[in-house]
Amino acid sequence: MTMIVKLILKTIFLVAVLLLLVIMGMNNRQPVELSMPPLLPKAQKYPAALMYFGFFGIGLLTGSILTAGRRGKSKSE
């Protein structure tokens, strides 16, 4: 598969995931509670859509950091 086709498929996948975030944001407006006693002294209450977006952003950033700098092995070796 060529690099252009891979890039197009990855872009379509990312747009589909972002579309799911928009759908979640439109339909989940009630506040939810996030409790993480070791890191946050008291429970945080935010709209569910904001939580989904934050977790998606953290996951995307984590995946980008973990895959950054990887190089494919050359076929001549």
Report d(CA 18, CA 6) in Å as an integer. Answer: 18
Res 72 pLDDT > 70: no
Q: List the single range of 44-48, 54-58, 73-77 with lowest mean pLDDT.
A: 73-77
Q: What is the mean pLDDT of residues 35-48?
A: 87
CB-based burial label for 37 (10 Å; 0-12, 13-18, 19+): exposed
pTM of the model: 0.56
- Of the two residues 71 and 20, the one the predictor is more confident about is 20
48-67 vs 3-27: helix crossing angle, rounded to 10: 160
pLDDT at residue 42, rounded to an integer: 92
